[in-house]
Structure 1
Amino acid sequence: MILMYADPAATEAMSASERAEVARRHEALHQDLAGSGEMLNGAGLAYPKDTTTIRWHAGGSTSTDGPLTGATLQLTAYHVVDCASPERAHAIANRVLDFHVVAVEVRPIHDSFGMGDA
């Protein structure tokens, strides 16, 4: 799984041309990986301000508005890929880094639900 992080304030401040460039780059990556069979799924996520965090406690659960942490960088999108090696996953992840997605986590999936043999 490739987890993409960006600063939501910077995302909101992007110009129309910057948004178009980000969309173009992600669409090109999706096309390439769909063609090779490596792209299983992915999505862009709503702004963190539109998030609800639900936490478990011994007596039940509580919910709060907003993301899990108050960090500047927040999870903005993800791709689930099926590739031959960790090095290939890192190469794919490097393709999403830019002025908008400033950090990427590459994390193996140990259980998959509804994603074939991922």
Structure 2
Amino acid sequence: MKYLVLMYADPAATAAMTAEERADVFRRHEALHRDLDGSGEILNGAGLAYPEDTATLRGTPDGPVTTTDGPLVAATEQLTAYYVLDCETPERARAIAERVVDFHVVAVEVRPIHDSFGMDHDSD
């Protein structure tokens, strides 16, 4: 089963990190990749730009699409990075995700990925 691991941090705290703190975060992610190298469990992942570099598009069934600057939700913690995992169990995905929670990444969501975009399909 595939899982999306969404990592959240405070962008202001990220910007204020020392070079040593940034190096520590980099080492932790590098170690995770090294430990899982060859397992096929990490499929993809990346860090994301700061929220102020984000555009949010909204639409309604009968109206035009509007664009605003900034993330969807104004909050202290913002989505900052992600991994796509392929794991045998939800527990395994959570165990991998646990390794990225630290002084910088303060919350992590682990969400199953459905090929059908999470929508029900009628067989008719």
Q: Same fold per TM (> 0.5)?
A: yes
The equivalent position to 2:6 in structure 1, one of 3, 6, 13, is 3
The equivalent residue for 1:75 is 79
Q: Once the 2 structures are TM-superposed, how far is the Cα of residue 112 of structure 1 from its aligned partner?
A: 7.7
| Distance (whole Å) between structure 1 residues aligned to residue 86 and residue 70 of structure 2 | 31
Aligned length: 113
What is the TM-score when the length of structure 2 is the normalising length? 0.87
| Distance (whole Å) between structure 2 residues aligned to residue 78 and residue 30 of structure 1 | 13
Aligned-pair Cα RMSD in Å: 1.4
Q: Once the 2 structures are TM-superposed, how far is the Cα of residue 35 of structure 1 from its aligned partner?
A: 2.2
What is the TM-score when the length of structure 1 is the normalising length? 0.91
Q: Are the structure 2 counterparts of residues 112 and 24 from structure 1 closer, same or farther at C-alpha, using a change threshold of 3 Å? A: farther
| Distance (whole Å) between structure 2 residues aligned to residue 50 and residue 73 of structure 1 | 15
Segments of structure 2 that go 5 or more residues without pairing to the other structure are 118-124
Letter aligned with residue 17 of structure 2: M
The equivalent position to 1:52 in structure 2, one of 33, 52, 55, is 55
| Distance (whole Å) between structure 2 residues aligned to residue 108 and residue 34 of structure 1 | 22
The equivalent residue for 1:13 is 16
| Distance (whole Å) between structure 2 residues aligned to residue 80 and residue 99 of structure 1 | 22
Residue 45 of structure 2 corresponds to residue 38 of structure 1: no
Q: Once the 2 structures are TM-superposed, how far is the Cα of residue 34 of structure 1 from its aligned partner?
A: 3.1
Letter aligned with residue 77 of structure 1: A
Partner-residue secondary structure (3-state), 2:68: strand
Q: Are the structure 2 counterparts of residues 42 and 107 from structure 1 closer, same or farther at C-alpha, using a change threshold of 3 Å? A: same
Report which of the two structures shows the higher radius of gyration computed on alpha carbons: 2
Residue 92 of structure 2 corresponds to residue 88 of structure 1: yes
The equivalent residue for 1:116 is none
Q: Once the 2 structures are TM-superposed, how far is the Cα of residue 32 of structure 1 from its aligned partner?
A: 2.0
Segments of structure 1 that go 5 or more residues without pairing to the other structure are 114-118
